[in-house]
Structure 1
Amino acid sequence: MAAKQCDDSPRDMSAEDRRDGLLVRSRKFNPKEVFTWRLAKTLLMGQGLAGLICGTAVSSQYLASNFHVNTPMLQSLLNYVLLCVTYTSMLLCRKGDGNILQILRTRWWKYLLLGLVDVEANYTVVKAYQYTTLTSIQLLDCFVVPVLMVLSWWALKTRYRLIHYVAVCICLLGVGAMVGADLLAGRDQGSTSNILLGDGLVLLSASLYAVSNVCQEYTVKNLSRVEFLGMVGLFGTVISTVQMVILERDEMATIQWSWQVGLLFSAYALCMYGLYSCMPIVMKMSSATSTNLSLLTADLFSLFCGVFLFQYNFSGLYLVSLVVILIGFVTFNAVPTPVNSTDPAIASSSSSSSICEEGSYENAVAAQSDIIKQEVAVSITASTGGATS
């Protein structure tokens, strides 16, 4: 009987310790440490990206519904040309290892594959609208988030905690509320000619977007934003031109150009250009997964615009969906995602100083401090040795 009591006491003590630890953590909780200016800035910038996506959706819908223009490759080409003119030109002006010739000499094939992935991700999701419904696209497009988490865990060594999985589930519940509001409002639009093919294209697009975003996060955090955008603009322009000539010659010949059509093309290209230019900044502040969670509100912004522009029926569930997604986003970013530092590649990458876009070293101060410490240690050793002798 005494032995049983002795066996139970450690178990009771451990339970009490856990309860005490939970109480201590709850008492030490400081909202100012969670709701920081960095989190607010990340949230606002993420919603700005969602607004840009809304701009591309509205301009594309006007082109398709009012002017019967359906040329996704031509629209994407304009964006890649703007990226090429801006950022590839900046790479041409660089000297040393950051020069475009050096980049092409060492890793041209990587950026070729990345440009192909990015172009096809944009094309397949637009193509899916011809075969499946809007509801299916909204639901299956969320597949990008779990794929991103798996790729980040494998490639970037990101380690998620339980709170991050809960936050993702909250965001997906918000998307479910949005889809439910669409069904209640009778907005299950789109074709049903080949639902299986359309759903497959959406899943393919989500997977390609995930690959592109993980590569983007790695590049902007270890190399530079200008290099990523310059190379994607260069290879995206080449690939989009070839694909447009092959697939959209007939559609381009039937376009009846006017100032309204030109204005809508310009609006789409500028929104996409702003999205591509600003997304690496948000990813560097947070992560690819966090950025895509914030982009889940883009469909809601498009719906709010559609209420005024296309006479959509409004539902209160849209506001509920927006609030739920924002709660999930804040919850995800409230706790940092640790990186597995035992991986030698990640450890060496984090310890070495990376070159900034301006050409200076980010960790120059830390490196100088290490040098000073080493010099002090050497001088102390030398003086100790002299005193001993």
Structure 2
Amino acid sequence: MEEEDVYQPSLGRPPGRKTGVWDLLARVGKKIFSWSVLKTIAMGQMVSLFICGTAVTSQFLAETYKVDTPMLQSFINYCLLFLVYTVWLAFRAGENGLLQIVRKKWWKYLFLAIVDVEANYSIVKAYQFTTITSVQLLDCVGIPVLMALSWFILRARYRLIHYIAVVVCLLGVGTMVGADVVSGRAAGSATSMLIGDVLVLLGACLYAVSNVCEEYVVKNLTREEFLGMLGLFGTFVSGIQLMIVEYTAIGNIQWDWKVGLLFAVFALCMFGLYSLMPIVIRLTSATSVNLGILTADLYSLFFGLFLFKYQFSVLYILAFVVIMVGFIMYCSTATYSAEPERTNQGLDNSAMKDEEEATEEPATVLQYIPAELSTRMD
């Protein structure tokens, strides 16, 4: 005979209702709207807003002031990283100090800096050759590439809900592209679109490599080491490339306080992006962060409604909702590592893993009691 469930006001369950569906709904709701997931969503959208700030200021510089210096803008950001995080490492002693890290790992961080610098340059440069619609679509190639690299390099393993969440997010991007077509933002005077599309694909793949390296460093080493080394070698690489490709463009800039302010806002947004992203990646994963920042284009659109007189479409709101649903689905369940013997659980979605472990019920312990002792106890 089945026992009837006891009334629990906290779950909103009426008396006499059997357990099962209500418990499942309560657990799903608790998982989705837990503090760890909400914190991840909030920090992910802060990253999106920083990306939006870099996009809006870059567009102002390009359209209003005819300034086309993506490498100069990146160089300023790497200099800020150098002044803050590299100097921070310089005051450390021992194995975690700047000299020891450079001596042992200089070629690894040089490779990482080259990848990161060229990823930034490729994506920004692509807008000169192709349309924003193509950039939005092709940039999503980086997500499956990132998942594949995480699978082989970080030994990350995904559950079915993670794949479904990625598909939902990509559907949201498709909705956003459809809204661009309806509102006319997809139209443009782009030439040599094949060159632009290749640059987007290259930039997306390079970003995937950079994000996987970033996830490994921040989860196994320290955030300060990653940013400090990126500031050191990023300044070196971007400075050389700056002198080669943008020497003339910098000399043609008509400097005034507005142009200087736009450069300063771009640099601060980029610095905030680089400083915050390792924190979010440590809480979740690089894949999760890349899904969350798909909303950056939508934030740019909302600013563009007032600044650049874009046309609005209800499809943009639908796209935002779909992307956020997919992002929440991804964050609601922890990934796991293919290396169970490792004590460091940094490869997992650590925030969600802690949440799940806290809510797991203790296993029942079965203890053998001899028949004689059992009779005495009775």
TM-score, structure 2 normalization:
0.84
Equivalent-residue separation in structure 2 for 1:284 and 1:78 (angstroms): 26
Q: Unaligned stretches of 5+ in structure 1?
A: 1-21, 352-389
Alpha-carbon distance, 1:198 to partner: 1.0
Alpha-carbon distance, 1:332 to partner: 0.6
CA deviations 1:9-56 (Å, max 9, x no partner) are xxxxxxxxxxxxx97984773421332101001000100110011100
Aligned residue number for residue 284 of structure 1: 282
Alpha-carbon distance, 1:155 to partner: 0.7
CA deviations 1:131-167 (Å, max 9, x no partner) are 1111100100111110110011111111111111100
Equivalent-residue separation in structure 1 for 2:338 and 2:72 (angstroms): 42
Equivalent-residue separation in structure 1 for 2:312 and 2:216 (angstroms): 40
Aligned residue number for residue 67 of structure 1: 65
Residue pair 1:129, 1:191 contacting (<8 A) in 2 also: no
Equivalent-residue separation in structure 1 for 2:31 and 2:258 (angstroms): 49
Among 257, 260, 266, the alignment partner of 2:258 is 260
Alpha-carbon distance, 1:192 to partner: 3.3
Structure 1 residues 143-158: aligned runs within 5 Å: 143-158=141-156
Among 305, 308, 314, the alignment partner of 1:307 is 305
Alpha-carbon distance, 1:197 to partner: 1.5
Q: Which amino acid aligns with 1:175?
A: V
Aligned residue number for residue 204 of structure 2: 206
Aligned residue number for residue 319 of structure 1: 317
Equivalent-residue separation in structure 1 for 2:160 and 2:21 (angstroms): 19
Alpha-carbon distance, 1:191 to partner: 4.3
For the pair 1:216 / 2:217, whether they are aligned, the reply is no
Q: Which amino acid aligns with 2:157?
A: R
Identity percentage over the alignment? 56
Aligned residue number for residue 3 of structure 2: none
Residue pair 1:131, 1:190 contacting (<8 A) in 2 also: no
For the pair 1:37 / 2:62, whether they are aligned, the reply is no
Among 227, 230, 233, the alignment partner of 1:232 is 230
Structure 1 residues 100-179: aligned runs within 5 Å: 100-179=98-177
Equivalent-residue separation in structure 2 for 1:263 and 1:150 (angstroms): 40
Indicate the structure with greater helix content. 1
Q: Which amino acid aligns with 2:44?
A: G
Alpha-carbon distance, 1:251 to partner: 0.5
Aligned residue number for residue 376 of structure 1: none
CA deviations 1:48-88 (Å, max 9, x no partner) are 11001110011011101111000000000000000000000
Equivalent-residue separation in structure 1 for 2:162 and 2:253 (angstroms): 47
Aligned residue number for residue 387 of structure 1: none
Q: Which amino acid aligns with 2:237?
A: I
Alpha-carbon distance, 1:350 to partner: 4.8
Aligned residue number for residue 180 of structure 1: 178
Q: Which amino acid aligns with 2:94?
A: G
CA deviations 1:178-212 (Å, max 9, x no partner) are 10000000111444321111111101100000000
Determine helix, strand or coil for the equivalent of 1:137: helix
Aligned residue number for residue 48 of structure 1: 46
Determine helix, strand or coil for the equivalent of 1:29: helix
Q: Which amino acid aligns with 2:34?
A: T
Equivalent-residue separation in structure 2 for 1:104 and 1:157 (angstroms): 27
Equivalent-residue separation in structure 2 for 1:236 and 1:191 (angstroms): 33
Determine helix, strand or coil for the equivalent of 2:156: coil
TM-score, structure 1 normalization:
0.82
Equivalent-residue separation in structure 1 for 2:25 and 2:264 (angstroms): 54
Structure 1 runs of 4+ aligned residues shifted over 6 Å read 22-25
Residue pair 2:32, 2:328 contacting (<8 A) in 1 also: no
Equivalent-residue separation in structure 2 for 1:205 and 1:189 (angstroms): 22
Aligned residue number for residue 82 of structure 2: 84
Q: Which amino acid aligns with 2:265?
A: A
Q: 1:260 to 1:285 in 2, by over 3 A?
A: same
Equivalent-residue separation in structure 2 for 1:220 and 1:286 (angstroms): 11
Alpha-carbon distance, 1:277 to partner: 0.3
Aligned residue number for residue 12 of structure 2: none
Aligned residue number for residue 359 of structure 1: none
Q: Unaligned stretches of 5+ in structure 2?
A: 1-19, 347-378
Residue pair 1:130, 1:191 contacting (<8 A) in 2 also: no
CA deviations 1:68-113 (Å, max 9, x no partner) are 0000000000000000000000000000110011001111000000
Equivalent-residue separation in structure 2 for 1:326 and 1:211 (angstroms): 24
Residue pair 1:129, 1:190 contacting (<8 A) in 2 also: no
